[in-house]
Amino acid sequence: MIGRRLSELLIEKGYRVIWLSRERYVKAAIPRYRWDYRKGEIDSEALEQADIIIHLSGSNLGEGTWTRSKKQTIVESRVLTTRLLLDTLKKLNKKPEAFISASAVGYYGMHTDEKVNSEDDLPARNDFLSRTCKKWETEAFNFKKELGVRTVALRTPFVIYKNSPAFNKLKLLVKFGLGAPIGSGKQYFSWIHLDDLCGLYIKSVEDVNMEGVYNAVSPDQTTNTEFMRYLAKEMNRPFFLPNIPAFMLKLVMGEASGMVLEGSRISSQKVIDKGYRFKFDSVKEAFINSI
């Protein structure tokens, strides 16, 4: 979803975009070149053409429970893909202008408190999600360490967009009158509208002074209760049910339930200081655009 929307916006600005994909189809509107990180295979022709690499690959965190096998896939789909890109560039003796990688606010750990986390803060919890993000970012910044390439990592929260599968699941609950706070409802729900996330990726491409880690989050600090209440209001649906018990989510989602049951405040000040101006800086504006 992010890659498709980002491609549209880049092409509108005059950039030429190519994709790395599971299948090769170079005559497509957006040429696709094949790679398979499990086999260590990649069409080097794609990297030879690339001035900027934007890396969005990663197994969906919200799909299924976190079994041992799923956890391995979550980590490897982020870490090994990054390593394959770097190793291939080194073999080609190719140095792109920048490497821009996705990351996640899960870096800070699945934890709830009032502290506003900035990019310099260490994780509050050393849980699976935090460890995964640390490995992911370490691998990304090897581009800087080994090739001297300007590297940016954008720590991403929940993404709001009208075609988002995750957001559509929430809307479906509210549509049938089942909107309610999750767990305590006091946990913070970090979010960003897709167009702002893509705007930050484009800024990372164009602003050569952007380097390092940035929280790609809206400045609106919203709790889960507030988020769900606003959503119900915009959809003209009731919001009076009791909170969805934490134990129910733990039964269904297991360890992954921490992604929705916990949440701390995340600062967006660093990207604001870099000159980025959010199109959607309140959850109400984001909902109006996405419902």
Average pLDDT of span 144-160: 97
Whichever domain contains 90, its CATH number is: 3.40.50.720
* Domain, as residue range, for 166: 2-290
What is the pLDDT at residue 178? 83
Residue 124, pLDDT > 90, answer: no
Q: Give the pLDDT band (50/70/90) at residue 239.
A: confident
- Mean pLDDT over all residues of the chain? 95
Predicted TM-score of the model (pTM):
0.95
What is the pLDDT at residue 252? 85
What is the pLDDT at residue 62? 83
Residue 273, pLDDT > 90, answer: yes
Q: Give the pLDDT band (50/70/90) at residue 233.
A: very high
What HEC string does the chain produce?
CHHHHHHHHHHHCCCCCCEEECCCECCCCCCEEEEECCCCEECHHHHHHCCEEEECCCCCCCCCCCCHHHHHHHHHHHHHHHHHHHHHHHHHCCCCCEEEEEEEHHHHCCCCCCCEECCCCCCCCCCHHHHHHHHHHHHHCHHHHHHCCEEEEEEECEEECCCCHHHHHHHHHHHCCCCCCECCCCCECCEEEHHHHHHHHHHHHHCCCCCEEEECCCCCCCEHHHHHHHHHHHCCCCCCCCCECHHHHHHHHHHHHHHHHCCCEECCHHHHHCCCCCCCCCHHHHHHHHC
Average pLDDT of span 163-183: 89
Q: Give the pLDDT band (50/70/90) at residue 119.
A: very high
Residue 91, pLDDT > 90, answer: yes
Q: Give the pLDDT band (50/70/90) at residue 249.
A: confident
What is the pLDDT at residue 1? 94
Q: How much of the chain exceeds pLDDT 70, in percent?
A: 100
Q: Give the pLDDT band (50/70/90) at residue 235.
A: very high
What is the pLDDT at residue 125? 86
Residue 246, pLDDT > 90, answer: yes
Q: How many domains does the chain have?
A: 1
pLDDT tens figures, 15-63: 999 999 999 999 999 999 999 999 999 999 999 999 999 999 999 998 8
What is the pLDDT at residue 197? 98
